[in-house]
Structure 1
Amino acid sequence: MAIELDRMLKYFGSVFVPLSIIVLGFHYGYWFIQLSTICGLAIVSWTTAYMIYEHMDSETVSSDRKAVLITGCDSGFGHSLAKRLDRLGYHVFAGVYAYDSDGASKLRKECSKRMNVIKMDVTKAEDVELVVKEIRKQKIPLWAIVNNAGVGISVPFDWGRDVDEYQKLFDVNVFGVVRVTKNCIPLLRESKGRIVNVASVAGRLAAPSLAHYCMSKHSVRVFSDAIRRELNGSGVSVSVIEPTFYKTEILDPKRAEENRKRAFSETPAENRKAYPNNSLEVLEEKLSTKVDRMIRSNVDEVIDAMEKAITRKSPKLYYRCCGYLDVITIFAFSHLPEMLYDYLVLRGLK
């Protein structure tokens, strides 16, 4: 899809936009051309000033006697971030779904004594409450929480039993974020610390066969925006990490295929009639092809953004982790008129 969108963008950028300006310029005359020039200069100036500000604003806070709670540290972003922050001197509380997992074992073996690996299922209130009690027990100020735990599935919206697939994703991706944040907010108010929520580029787009995931990540964005405004004046900052597709366990092809087969087998017979016998194979081929085009392998791009959200004296509201092409084809295209965006997405999926 990225390649197709890139082609469309080049077409619009090289033909449609200049032609439109020329036509409107002839119609409305000098004033339109002058206004377009001012707007263009304003955009360029703002972008340049922001880049300079971001480059210069590199002052960090001390990691001395600061604790950070990270969810979903069995693998992926959470695992890598836990190691990074441990090296920086933070007291890390790494929440893992399975205490005896390979990822949990590596954290215990490879990190310093400051590393606390704790079993933490964000869908269970008792697990979260026990982790918060342990943080209080160690009497180390909780500086930041990173709501990183997440799951995903890529199937048509009507596959599976009732709303089971939606419920599973929202229990982790949305209600888990809310649960951890609510339990930790008293400690964060005391330390005037940070809330870092991991959303996704999917939270800005509505893509076919990703309704569940897109809905959940959009909810994370909305929740983050709302609590940031509620917490204004408290000293607690809220940042959102928005990665595009990165090569982590959540995109594991084998696991994705198993989830699709299970969901299809649990789909009511009446719904299954709308799909041919080879639906699973067709869906697998389409999704794998499109994701392969957009996937990024340098996970450190995301970890760097997470680190900045935790360590910078003035963290940003949003950290968009992607390439320049992704910024244009995803974030910019998400603001297009719906009819045009539908056309480009469906064209890209063919």
Structure 2
Amino acid sequence: MSIFSSETGWLCLAVTAVLGGTVLCKCKSSGWLGSCICLAGLWGGACLLSLSLFWGFILFSALCFLIYTRLSGQELLPVDQKAVLVTGGDSGIGHALCKYLDQLGFTVFAGVLHEKGSGAEELRRTCSQRLSVLQLDITNPAQIKDAHSKVVQKVQDRGLWAVINNAGVLLLPADGELIPMNDYRQCMAVNFFGAVEVTKAFLPLLRKSKGRLVNIASMAGGVPMENLAAYGSSKAALTMFSSVMRQELSKWGVKVALVQPGGFRTNITGGSDTWDKLEKNILDHLPAEVQEDYGQDYILAQRNILSFMDKYSSADVSPVLRDVQHAVMAKSPSALYTPGRSVYLWLCLASFCPTAVFDYICENGFGPKKAMPRALRMPWKNKAM
């Protein structure tokens, strides 16, 4: 018997249409992806109804309810002059974030490495009176303590809504064997330990406001990438820290979000003067045997990686800004954001691909053409080794 031959059938279809329409209206502001998901759900529900009216209606209604609940959590909370702290506000993504959040109406505390630097001065000149520039070297416990005191003094009873750990260093990409231990330590000191210490200092304020902790890591923290052993390891540590804190802070009502951007053009790589110093640092710390095996030409060619990264990175950091905004303002923020081209795909490949397949993809389809160390270009030495 046709499902359309009874009043009950028509009633079920009418209710289903109302549910589906409500979900579609709800997801108008969620972009094309949400619409596609809902349309797929509607199609699946129609197929189910053609098989079994009752169970099709039940399952489809449950689907609509789940999607509606999920989309309801994406609603943005009002700004209401909420206060946020951003580290690394001198330049790059942190600088852009300070301006963006200020424009949205937040009270912004811009932590900078150089309080009298050009980046800090630009923030003072271009942003509203709500923005405060704080001297904040996140590897300096005294400066963290001082920044905390200034934040508490200004926010008073309003509290601090969000901490955005953005400050980071990359240094010169190179083979892991070539990277000096000081560079490993500096990456960990800034990218991991600094973020942890800032988090610990401001967590009492976040617990009080039931606010947000947003850690900006990197795609390199979840995807093994050649020449980024120091940087990637520090970002991987920050990634795991974020996951653990997300679980531990949920009982306090604090939501933790991790942002793993792809390639965006910032000045984290520095300029040619910085590269010269980093190259000299590498050469000065290499044992003679290692320098002989790799060859000075190979070591000096490492700066080509920076040129490649700069060439293929996006100058438009707005995807990162929008994701951080969502992490700070959404009623139910996501645990992970992956702004940038193909970032989520690479994270999935690194997690689920067989190792041999993933390594083959990286070797043949990612990065600049790789030079060979001196010893590997000399067949007679290879045989001796």
Quote the residue 1:72 is aligned against. Answer: 88
Secondary structure of the equivalent of 2:333?
coil
Amino acid at match of 2:290: N
Match of 1:300 among 297, 312, 318: 318
Q: Distance in 2 between matches of 1:269 and 1:210?
A: 23
User: Once the 2 structures are TM-superposed, how far is the Cα of residue 54 of structure 1 from its aligned partner?
Assistant: 7.0
Shift of 1:333: 1.8
Q: TM-score, normalised by structure 1?
A: 0.80
Distance 1:292 1:147 in 2: 23
Shift of 1:111: 1.0
When structure 1 is superposed on structure 2, of 132-141 and 173-182 the one drifting more is: 132-141
Does 1:263 find its partner at 2:282?
A: yes
Separation (CA, whole Å) in 2 of partners of 1:208 and 1:247: 19
Tell me which residue corresponds to 1:28: none
Contact map agreement 2:73 2:333 (CA 8 A) in 1: no
Q: Does structure 2 conserve the Cα–Cα contact (< 8 Å) formed by 1:145 and 1:195?
A: yes
Note closer, same or farther for the CA distance 1:287–1:113 as it changes in structure 2 (3 Å cut). closer
Structure 2 gaps, min length 5: 1-62, 370-385
Q: Which residue is 2:235 aligned to? A: 217
C-alpha distance in structure 2 between counterparts of 1:54 and 1:106, whole Å: 39
One of 197, 203, 220 as aligned partner of 1:179: 197
Q: CA deviation at 1:69?
A: 0.6
Counterpart residue number, 1:247: 265
Q: 1:257–1:244: structure 2 CA closer, same or farther, 3 Å change rule?
A: farther
Structure 1 residue aligned with 2:363, among 331, 346, 350?
Answer: 346
The answer for the alignment partner of 1:284 in structure 2 is 303
- Once the two structures are overlaid, the 10-residue window that deviates more, 256-265 or 307-316, is 256-265
- Residue by residue, what CA displacement relative to the aligned partner does 1:159-178 show, whole Å, maximum 9, x if unpaired? 254x2111001000000110
User: Separation in 1 of the partners of 2:223 and 2:69?
Assistant: 29
The Cα shift of 1:326 comes to: 3.9
SS in 2 for 1:303: helix
Mapped partners of 2:90, 2:70: distance in 1 = 32
Match of residue 157, structure 1, among 139, 157, 176? 176
**Structure 2 equivalent of residue 30 of structure 1:** none
Cα distance, 1:77–1:292 mapped onto 2, change above 3 Å: closer
Cα distance change on mapping 1:53 and 1:200 into 2, 3 Å: farther
Asked whether the 8 Å contact 2:269–2:306 carries over to 1, the reply is: no
Q: Residue 322 of structure 1 is aligned with which of 328, 340, 360?
A: 340
Question: What is the distance in 2 between the residues matched to 1:149 and 1:70?
Answer: 8
1:82 is aligned to 98
Residue 144 of structure 2 is matched in structure 1 by 128
Deviation at 1:95, TM superposition (A): 0.3
What's the CA shift for 1:80? 0.8
Q: Is the 2:136–2:143 Cα contact (8 Å) retained in structure 1?
A: yes
What is the SS of the residue equivalent to 2:161? Answer: strand
Query: Any conservation in 1 of the 2:265–2:310 contact (CA below 8 Å)?
Result: no
Deviation per residue, 1:1-49 (Å, 9 max, x gap)? xxxxxxxxxxxxxxxxxxxxxxxxxxxxxxxxxxxxxxxxxxxxx9xx9
User: Take 1:280 and 1:288, find their aligned partners in 2: how far apart are those partners?
Assistant: 15
CA distance in 2, matches of 1:88, 1:331: 31
Tell me the residue number matched to 2:16.
none
The 1:247/1:54 distance shift into structure 2, 3 A limit, reads farther
Mapping of 1:5-154 within 5 angstroms? 57-138=73-154, 139=156, 140-153=158-171, 154=173
Unaligned runs of 5+ in 1: 1-45
Report the CA distance shift for 1:116/1:229 in structure 2 as closer, same or farther (over 3 A).
Answer: same
| Alpha carbons 1:257, 1:284 under 8 Å: kept | no
Paired AA for residue 359 in structure 2: D
Q: Structure 2 vs 1, CA of residues 239 and 257 (structure 1 numbering), >3 Å: closer, same or farther?
A: farther
1:273 maps to 2:280? no
Taking every aligned residue pair, what percent have the same amino acid on both sides? Answer: 34
Q: For residue 21 of structure 2, what is the aligned residue in structure 1?
A: none
Whole-angstrom CA distance in 2 between matches of 1:318 and 1:150: 19
Mapped partners of 2:205, 2:87: distance in 1: 17
- Cα RMSD, aligned residues only: 2.1
Larger relative contact order (Cα-Cα within 8 Å, sequence gap ≥ 6)? 1
Shift of residue 158 of structure 1?
Answer: 2.1
Decide which structure has the larger Cα Rg and report it: 2
Instruction: Answer whether contact 2:89 2:98 (CA < 8 A) is retained.
Output: yes
- Do the aligned residues in 1 keep the contact of 2:74 with 2:333 (CA within 8 Å)? no
Kindly tell me: are residues 151 and 341 of structure 1, through their superposed partners in 2, closer, same or farther at Cα, counting changes over 3 Å? same
* Counterpart in the other structure of 2:245: 227
CA distance in 1, matches of 2:144, 2:291: 39
2:224 paired with 1:189: no
Answer yes or no: is the 8 Å Cα contact 2:218–2:261 preserved in 1.
Answer: yes
Amino acid at match of 1:301: P
- C-alpha distance 269-172 of structure 1, shift in aligned 2 (>3 A): same
CA pair 54-148 structure 1, distance change in 2 beyond 3 A: farther
Structure 1 counterpart of 2:350: 334
Counterpart AA for 2:355? E
